[in-house]
Amino acid sequence: MEWSWPESVLSNGERVKEELMQGRELAGQLCRVFDDHKSTLVSGGFGGGDGGSAEDLVDKILGSFANTLLILNGKESDGEIVSGDQIQGISSGGSGDSSSWDANHTAPVIKSEDFYEESCKSTSTFKDRRGSYKRRKTSHSWTRDTPTLTDDGHGWRKYGQKRILNSKHSRNYYRCTHKFEQSCKATKYVQQIQDHQPMFRTTYHGNHTCRDYLKASELVLDCTSPRESSKFIRFGDTKQDHPFFSSFTSVRKEELVFMEESIIKEEIPPTSDDRVMTSHDSHSWLYEYLVSPDLTTLESSAPPDGFSSNLYEFDHEDVISRLMMGSFDLDEVLQYI
DNA sequence: GGGATTTGACCTCG
DNA sequence: CGAGGTCAAATCCC
């Protein structure tokens, strides 16, 4: 697999590095805040730390990541780099195939009021009219191609199926299980885009504003070691949900093992398309990140038996995608700069 | 019985 | 006007 960073990325490499380094530092601070204020955190209270309140830190961290993505997308020159305070409501930006932001979404920074405008408009006015809704025009969406229907960690309920023009396969529409109880606006639709080698394209819209209690209760934000904790953050669990990251849920080791077993049972033939992160690869990848004790030496940690070494050769879109998923290795990202 | 899925109707927007 | 997105009654399934 061969690829190269866009020129804008290379020229902004230092900025990217800077932003990511800041993000890591802030994440470390945040964990110390959590450590210091575990009891108050449970009751919903956020306390201050040596670098500011947890909320501020979250903002700053998310801001760093968002800025990084903007730089990667060459948006810095447009003056769209934002501070942590501005980051609330950022949804997407970028482009790509296997895991990408909506290409027609040209403005990656939007205000939170814009982001929630859709729900405000669509809820009451036409609620009693069947099939009525506020159709998304410039929706904040991103796609993901997988050879199998993988579990992204969220609960989804199918609410529709539609035959699409010029497409053999119908499109299945899903909404968040907690749409009504928690007013979660996240939706997605899944469509098979290949026949010979089954490939499913999942398009996500909106962010999860819900908390999946079943899964969240199983997750432990272990910040005993800042070193470890900084590499695996579940953004969806922060008090302040973030459109950038909260659509994905981190996956525990046990869940990954279960997922691996599921994949094995399905006996899905491997794909030759190395641009697409297969579910098997992604699971293994996540597993590696969870079990790898060393944040800084991913390259040196040998892949498990049976895994190709080129598992770690991915394009920058995968990096972006995994940034979105809230779990990534900083140094792995930096090696491409 | 309650939650999930199916499916045709309905609505919006390009 | 038609494609795409959503609703909700009917049905299925545990």
DSSP A271: P
Q: Which amino acid makes up residue A121?
A: K
The protein residue nearest B13 (Cα–C1') is A135
| Residues A178-190: tens digit of each pLDDT | 877 777 878 888 8
CA of A225 to C1' of B3 (A): 41
In angstroms, the first-to-last Cα distance of chain A is 17
Q: pLDDT at position A204, please?
A: 86
3 state SS of A36: helix
Cα–Cα dist A233/A211, whole Å: 15
CB A198 within 8 A of CB A147: yes
* Residue A167 pLDDT grade (very low, low, confident, very high; cuts 50, 70, 90): confident
CA of A333 to C1' of B8 (A): 48
| Residues A267-316: tens digit of each pLDDT | 334 433 333 433 333 333 333 333 333 333 333 333 333 333 333 333 34
Q: Which amino acid makes up residue A166?
A: N
The protein residue nearest B10 (Cα–C1') is A131
Domain locations in chain A as residue ranges: 7-125+132-334
Averaged over A34-49, what is the pLDDT?
A: 46
Helical H segments across chain A, by residue range? 7-11, 13-36, 38-42, 54-72, 112-115, 117-123, 213-216, 226-229, 253-266, 279-291, 316-324, 330-334
Instruction: Sort A153 into a burial class: Cβ within 10 Å, 0-12 / 13-18 / 19+.
Output: buried
The protein residue nearest C7 (Cα–C1') is A131
Averaged over A156-173, what is the pLDDT?
A: 87
Over 50: is that where the pLDDT of A24 sits? yes
Count CB neighbours of A88 within 10 A.
21
| Residues A120-142: tens digit of each pLDDT | 333 333 334 454 455 554 456 78
Least confident span in A56-60, A173-177, A328-332? A328-332
CA of A182 to C1' of B2 (A): 19
Cα–Cα dist A235/A257, whole Å: 22
Footprint of strand B on the protein (CB under 7 A): A 126, 129-135, 137, 155-162, 172, 177
Q: Of A222, A164, A153, whose CA–CA distance to A193 is shortest?
A: A164
